[in-house]
Structure 1
Amino acid sequence: MADAPRVALVTGGAAGMGKATSLKLAADGHSVGIVDIDFDGARAVSDAIVAGGGKALAVRADIGERMQVEQAITQIREALGPITILVNNAAVENFSALEDLDDATWDRLMGINLRGAYVAAQCVLPDMSAAGWGRIINVSAFGAQIGAPNMALYTASKGGIISMTRSLAIELGPKGITVNSVSPGFIDTPMARRAINGGLFPVPYEQIIATYPIPRLGQPEDIAAACAFFASDAAGYITGQVLGVNGGAAM
């Protein structure tokens, strides 16, 4: 039997993994609020969902700014209903050696990648608590599990996501809310392509993926499938977990 239709919020839903996840959740019958600083991209995803017979709303917000997140969630709640599925996907990358980092860069990235996820979860918590049912899916990164050169800031933010996931799972489980993390590997997204085209990896990316048990780039749909599983009723007895979707790279 199919899951009951619910309202999902996907941050960073305009492109890449967020876009694929928004489309997958809509295909599963859920209404989807798509929040992104790129409003045109978010609206294109929303339009595609509506054209396919689904319900969606695109809202522009900077995930690093609490007031904008609160306003976006209010808009989605008023248009679609209480939010009981949250996919914290929005993030920015950073490739910097330790000696090149500065406090402003550190604070800005942490504000989006880590604090933004906490703010979004806090804002939708009343809806989930009232329903006695909720799914929070936090997108982390396999670099947080195995380390990566020149990515101390980015991986620290994603390591915080993993730790927060486990603690919230303990805290929110009695409320009927599960909290899990999907940890992507090397996924073919606009963010990854910027890094590839900019020569930001120590060796060509083909050499990196050739070492993986599944030697290819992952696709955004691989992440979307994992997020959709954690959002489903079938995952109701699973919480506090980190699911690596990385072709075996982080074993």
Structure 2
Amino acid sequence: MKWKIGNMTLDVLPPVKRYMNAIERHLRVDRKTRARIMTELASDFQSRRENGQSDETIMKELGTPEEVASQFNAALSAPSVPSRWRWAFVVLAVLVLAVALVPMLADQFAANQAASIGAIGGADGPTAIYVTASPSQSLISALPWLLGCVAGFFLPTWRDPHASKGYGFSLLISGLGLLPLCLVAMELVIVACTTELPLYQLGTICWALLSGFFTNGEWLCAAVLGWACLARSRAKKNSGKDSKKI
């Protein structure tokens, strides 16, 4: 089959055409630049054929369509396109707000909390608030969920999987989401060291904290925080290796 690229016509098989179309789809440049790149690729492809290389060998040497396109995008400083998966955090935030604002669900949540443990003797302040949330505090309990969603949405890895900078905002927001849990844990240690709490009460507090870690959304903040630290560390390590090679 014939394939016309600019002023050049290339005789290609369906696999080659799919390969070239995939490269063109991944290019993040204007139409004129895209046409010039595809013309150069077609010319290079044709010259390799004339040198006796098969289509399969040429495509293997060039690399995957994503790799070929990324090389041109990097060379031309093409703007990156953020991954669509980051919008999952927006959907999650909307769902969390809906659950927190629906009166019926808020009343049910309050009833369940009323049947649970009350304020624990000797553990006031943040711990009492953490384990005895009232209906008016449903939005406060949803705050870690929202902070985790915001931190996850702004992770630089959605724009560049190899980004080594720009993690400060996500680290700050996810850290703020974990702050209430850290305060409660500190108070629990102080109470356990300064008072003689029965073992069953101490176990009840620890179980309440563990349950709150998952139901209040602190786990999401912890996951985003760990993700950001790991991605930044890995990107810096890879950039250090690349600089040594150079």
| Higher-strand-fraction structure | 1
Alignment TM-score > 0.5, same fold = no
Q: TM-score, normalised by structure 2?
A: 0.25
Q: TM-score, normalised by structure 1?
A: 0.25
| Higher-helix-fraction structure | 2
Please identify the structure whose Cα radius of gyration is greater.
Answer: 2
